[in-house]
Amino acid sequence: MGAEEMRVYLDSPAAAAAEVVKKKGKVCVTGGAGFVASWLVKKLLEGGYSVRATVRSDPKFKEETGHLTSLPGASDNLEIFDADLTRPESFVPVVEGCVGVFHVATPTDFGAEDYDQKAARVAVEGVLGVLRACAASGTVRRVMYTSSASAVVFSGGANSVGKEQGGGTVVLDESVWTDEEFCRAQDVPIAAYFVSKTLAERAALDFGAEHGLDVVTVLPSSVVGPFLVPHFPTSYVTSLALLRGDREHCKLLRSMQFVHIDDVAAAHIFLFECPDVRPGRYLCSAADTTIRSLAGLLRTRFPEFHIPDELVGGEDGKDEEPTVRLSSEKLKGLGFEFRCGLEEMFEGAVHCCKQKGFL
């Protein structure tokens, strides 16, 4: 093909898009049908990547994929594979030929009576299986593992890295790890999930260091915003507790940290592409707030929900400071910028919930 023919060829939008995809390469997103992962798939397709998304085909856990296959660019650049963390070997053919892997999948569907025993084991074995496939592929140049800020915040005072600020606020960064025994002792069902994320992240970083594999972990705080999944996101039980009148989950909002789903996906891609990134942990949190501050925002923006004072607690007019703040300075120091604040987060979430009939 001559230079002139090449120019005409590239003037075609479809041809130009194909060239971009070829240049960006193929990546894998595990747990692709999930809340965060599906939005990440959307952003990767928009960014010119060819994406392989894994879902589970087991009839017991069969996942819908219509929200993935209907994405712009999906018909040409999205492949869906069956893979499961309980079968780590199932990721081998998916990872083959990929330049990067975004491991977002995490076990969440065990019964309450066995979750604590199984979740951590499956999470650790699953991440190690995915990483072994990446190491053997010969093509994967970086692995992005989606951890959670919960792998930092439940230190139980065992870590002295946090810096005291006015009002007793403690700032935590990536050097702090959740204490698994302290977390288990809290006697709340979701503590098992926090433990599993902590153990799996440690295993991922240890494997990367031992085998010379570039492993980068992203630790989002509570993710809020619009969503593609057809179901009510599990994390929204707490995030939207004030609007849903959920007294028990409101207790978890006394001091909270949030990040917009689009910023989370953008941070994953930024860290994957950034040449200055080194293996390790990167907190991803945009806003620290208290239940009173959050209630004030929601009452102003969504007065139709009539949030009662008894859900909020505290003294009227009393200013509060979050007891914990999360530092994302390591991520921002590389040049990443958060684009969305609390108002955008909750506007997107509420709009989607109303649209899908969840609120």
Give catalytic residues, as residue numbers: 197
Residue 25 to residues 49, 138, 264, 272, 345, Cα–Cα distance (Å): 6, 14, 21, 12, 31
Residue 132 to residues 92, 95, 212, 218, 292, Cα–Cα distance (Å): 8, 10, 12, 20, 46
Detail the DSSP E strand segments found in the chain: 26-30, 50-55, 78-82, 100-103, 142-146, 163-164, 170-172, 215-220, 222-224, 255-260, 280-284, 287-290, 324-326
Instruction: Give the strand pairing for 222-224 and 255-260.
Output: parallel
17-21: long-range contacts at Cβ-Cβ below 8 A with a sequence spacing of 24 or more?
17/48, 17/73, 17/76, 18/76, 20/48, 21/48, 21/49, 21/50, 21/76, 21/77
